[in-house]
Structure 1
Amino acid sequence: MVETVAIITPAYKARDTLPDTVRSVLGQSHKDWQHWIIADDGFDYRGLLEERGLADPRQVFLTSGGIGQGASRTRNVALERIATPYAAILDADDRLKPPKLERAVAALGRYGIVTTALDVMTTDFTHLRHVGTGPDRVLTPGEHKWVNLSMDSMIVWDRRRGDGRYDPDMSNMTDLEFLLQLYRTIPQSYHLGTPLHDYVKREGSMSNGREVAAGMIASKTEILRRLENGHYRLAEAEAAGIAAFLRISLAAETAYSAALAARPGLLFEDHLEARLIA
């Protein structure tokens, strides 16, 4: 049985990047999808895609109801509306490799959450590094971040087994916070070790400037507090695994500025990974 996947894409000032994102969806080998594109800037993205010859009847266009509401509120608009069994997150400057949905849907027949390795790139799609490559494997919540040490918006999940909403009051790390909500009712995820998701590092995330670092530290600290308070109802060992990662990541955040000054161009993933394996 073919299952429909709702792909959720918040769009804010995405006129230059969204066409490539949409092309990657149109090129999926799994054809049973809906692409929910939610404008958070009042722009007519339907018209843009029609002009570029990228319009498709499987696309659904919504608005966040304002300007600059943020990715969390914008994603939640779609989450309140979709009725498909499966859902996926795709940012308006990232891309899916052609087999991603097909491979994720196959794994969702058994597992409630599927993650994939990342192809980390610059805005002009120059390859920087991979994250999470290796064998396909089952991961517990406590193991997840030790494999997926970068962003967590590469997920595809079964909404019948678990669901949640993005926290609009958290400035960063909302993808991880959302995933932890899913883990409340889904005990394991399945990780595809092939890089099937292009993760574009924009200028702000390339250098983790002062404001970005402050937001990351505040958000990681809040997730750590929620873990320690049993907010996600995880087994003690699983919560401890995530907490241990976050403590190392917080230390890496505070040391990153000096490390970047000593080694210009240092990716935060490289900076963090060295600490994780130390």
Structure 2
Amino acid sequence: MPHTVAIITPAFHAQSTLATTATSVLNQTHGDWEHWIIADDGFDYRSYMYEQGLNDPRQRFLTSGGIGLGASVTRNVALETITAPYAAILDADDRLKPTKLEKAVSALKDFAIVTTALDVMDMSFAHLRFVGVGENRALTPGEHKWVSLSMDSMVVWDRAKADGRFETGMSNMTDLEFLLQLYRTAPQSYHLGEPLHDYIKREGSMSNSTNVTEGMIRSKREILRRLESGYYGLSQSDVDGVAAFLTVSIAAEAEFGDALAAQPGLLFEDHLEPRLKASQQAE
């Protein structure tokens, strides 16, 4: 399986979105994939996919072993099972652009970690903004978040060169925490500046619910503590880069409630981005 990508999709009450997500996998120009759909709600997604006319022999089905155990536990179940050399994360309400896997696999020839720009959309797939759009480039851990300022579920990685498991004890920011684990053995990632991943801002999700601020701040502070303790084994310059981003982001989280009240519908990314730019200009 020289170029097989295991796509990991936790499914919790995903009946209204999974068909669209799975269709985006079926439409990939790179056909060497396995789509692992892991039920975290006791639902029979194998039968569901058959009923939708979307079943494919490359689809695999697992269960988290419980109900509502969470995305981190569910993703880890798949990571303990898959044997494919490459892996990718795809939430059950997101989509891949048709060339996402093809371009990521090409970049994995030279890099252990590949990220892509995001097309951020609402639940009706209306475009809201892009994140991380620009030139293709290698990034150090300290540079990554300054380019891709929110969401880290777009990652594709070589499991022989970078490995990790999702943190089950954190309420938020588990995608970034996982990426930092991958950086322990991969000094650089490669960022594709084309928006190849549709990220859906879903109301009520872990990162987009109305009362998420406290959990975000707590999780960001925990990652900051781990960085400064040497937990990820990063160079000091990389620690400083990620820590500087998190410091600005934590302050932005604390101010976001008032900003949202003053401007209903404000995206956190639009709230955060000018603060990051001001921080860079002040250096």
Q: Deviations over 1:205-225 (max 9, x none)?
A: 686523x11110110010000
What secondary structure is seen at the aligned counterpart in 2 of 1:28?
Answer: coil
2:35 aligned partner:
35
CA–CA distance in structure 1, aligned partners of residues 189 and 232 of structure 2:
16
Match of 2:193 in 1: 193
Distance (Å, rounded) in 2 between the aligned partners of 1:55 and 1:207: 30
What CA distance in whole angstroms lies between the structure 2 residues aligned with 1:208 and 1:78?
26
Give the Cα separation in 1 of the matches to 2:214 and 2:91.
Answer: 22
In the alignment, what sits opposite 2:281?
none
Structure 1 contact 6–84 (Cα < 8 Å) conserved: yes
Report deviation, 1:204. 3.4
Question: Where in structure 1 are there 5+ consecutive unaligned residues?
Answer: none
Note the residue ranges of structure 2 that are not aligned, 5 or more in a row. Answer: 279-283
Aligned pairs for 1:1-278 (under 5 A) are 3-204=3-204, 209-210=210-211, 212-278=212-278
Whether the 8 Å contact between 1:207 and 1:265 is mirrored in structure 2 is no
**What secondary structure, in the 3-state scheme, does the structure 1 residue paired with 2:6 have?**
strand
3-state SS of 2:204 partner: helix
After TM superposition, the runs of 4+ consecutive aligned structure 1 residues lying more than 3 A away are 204-208
Write the distance in 2 (CA, Å) between the matches of 1:228 and 1:12. 35
Deviations 1:121-151 (A, max 9, x none): 0011010000000000000000000011110
| 1:202 CA drift (Å) | 1.0
CA contact (8 A) 1:207 1:267 kept: no
The count of residues paired between Structure 1 and Structure 2 equals 277
Report the residue type matching 2:213 in the other structure. Answer: A
Q: What SS does the corresponding residue of 2:83 show, helix, strand or coil?
A: coil
**Aligned letter for 1:67?**
I
Deviation at 1:203, TM superposition (A): 1.6
Question: Do the aligned partners of residues 182 and 207 (structure 1) sit closer, same or farther apart at CA in structure 2, a change above 3 Å counting?
Answer: closer
Tell me, yes or no, if the aligned pair for 1:2 and 1:32 is still in contact at 8 Å.
Answer: no
Shift of 1:228: 0.5
Q: Match of 1:203, SS?
A: coil
SS in 2 for 1:277: helix
Residues in 2 aligned to 1:91 and 1:213: alpha-carbon distance in whole angstroms: 21
- Using structure 1 for the length normalisation, give the TM-score: 0.98
2:184 partner amino acid: R
RMSD, matched Cα: 1.1
- Paired residue secondary structure (1:259): helix
- Tell me if structure 1 keeps the 8 A contact 2:201–2:208: no
Give distance in 1, aligned partners of 2:184 and 2:208: 33
Shift of 1:78: 0.3
- Whether the aligned pair in 1 keeps the contact of 2:108 and 2:157 (CA below 8 Å) is yes
Matched to 2:227, the amino acid is L
* Distance in structure 2 (CA, Å) of the matches to 1:209 and 1:39: 25
Cα distance change on mapping 1:207 and 1:25 into 2, 3 Å: closer
- SS for the counterpart of 1:232 is coil
| Alpha-carbon contact 1:118-1:131 (below 8 Å) kept | yes
